[in-house]
Amino acid sequence: MDWRDEGALLAVRQHGETSAIVEVFTKAHGRHAGVVRGGASRKLAPLLQPGAQLDLTWRARLEDHIGTFTVEPLRSRAGLLSNRLALAALNSVCALLHTTLPEREPHPDLYASTIGLLDTLGATPDCVLAYLRWELLLLEELGYGLDLTSCAVTGSREDLAYVSPKSGRAVARDAAGDWADRLLPLPPCLLGQGPADPGELFAGLTTTGYFLEHRLFPDLGTRPLPEARRRLVAMIARQG
């Protein structure tokens, strides 16, 4: 069994004295793991960093084996090391994909969005806004998408200000009534309106984070949200 694809590296851990087990997110083969011979060497280890774009050839005797990767670097994102916010966003992306995606299940739309986001990080001041919209897509791809098109109570598309934590649907400001303090914030940036200040970004991440923590992750086995995402949100909170 063998295939060739491109992918972004999500995680790496040493395997034996000289090899490494890497996990990548690819367009055609989803989240996939494999052994890289010599992956812990001085030559390859610096190339196997989270977010790196790789040309991958996977081989195994049987399809359900972990198999081995031959890797060629296509794009390094080591330049993000000097940008703390962009690096935090990259680490959060990798951690969320690592913990949420089913193994070997293709998600081509999410893959394209992920690569676009990784290419954007550090290149624009709106990288956190792009990250927030990526989280919305992640929820949608995994079956937990939010319906922010109209008010769940009145059907209105005007003055949408909240999200119901139960249904994931938008709620207009006037329709919230006494329930407003029990609803989640719906800042304009979640509706595709930008740019956004740190306060709005934090509000948006609070809402997407609720559905990650209270809907998606419990269905995956009640594991906590990745620490990398918590660090990113904390950085945004300090800015706001």
Quick one: average pLDDT of 142-167?
Answer: 97
For the domain that residue 100 is a member of, what is the CATH number?
1.20.1440.120
Quick one: average pLDDT of 88-107?
Answer: 97
Residue finishing a domain among 76, 92, 111: 76
Query: Could you tell me if 67 and 90 lie in one domain?
Result: no
pLDDT over 70, % of the chain? 99
Query: Could you tell me if 177 and 70 lie in one domain?
Result: no
Query: Could you tell me if 230 and 141 lie in one domain?
Result: yes
Quick one: average pLDDT of 148-152?
Answer: 97
Query: Could you tell me if 169 and 154 lie in one domain?
Result: yes
Query: Could you tell me if 137 and 88 lie in one domain?
Result: yes
Q: What's the pLDDT tens digit per position in 34-70?
A: 999 999 998 899 999 999 999 999 999 888 899 999 9
Quick one: pLDDT at residue 64? 83
Q: How confident is the model at residue 222 (pLDDT cuts 50, 70, 90)?
A: low
Residue finishing a domain among 21, 45, 76: 76
Query: Could you tell me if 68 and 38 lie in one domain?
Result: yes
Query: Could you tell me if 66 and 129 lie in one domain?
Result: no
Quick one: average pLDDT of 127-147?
Answer: 96
> Helix/strand/coil (H, E, C) string of the chain?
CEEEEEEEEEEEEEECCCEEEEEEEECCCEEEEEEECCCCCCCCHHHCCCCCEEEEEEECCCCCCCCEEEEEEEECCHHHHHCHHHHHHHHHHHHHHHHHCCECCCCHHHHHHHHHHHHHCCCCCCHHHHHHHHHHHHHHHCCCCCEEEEECCCCCCCCEEEECCCCCEEEEHHHHHHHHHHCEECCHHHHCCCCCCHHHHHHHHHHHHHHHHHHHHHHCCCCCCCHHHHHHHHHHHHHC
Q: How confident is the model at residue 177 (pLDDT cuts 50, 70, 90)?
A: very high
Query: Could you tell me if 106 and 195 lie in one domain?
Result: yes
Least confident of 39-48, 106-115, 131-140, 159-168: 39-48
For the domain that residue 25 is a member of, what is the CATH number?
2.40.50.140
Query: Could you tell me if 87 and 188 lie in one domain?
Result: yes
Mean pLDDT value across the chain: 94
Q: 68 lies in which domain range?
A: 2-76
Domain count across the chain: 2
Query: Could you tell me if 65 and 86 lie in one domain?
Result: no
Residue finishing a domain among 76, 97, 123: 76
Query: Could you tell me if 85 and 190 lie in one domain?
Result: yes
Query: Could you tell me if 131 and 32 lie in one domain?
Result: no
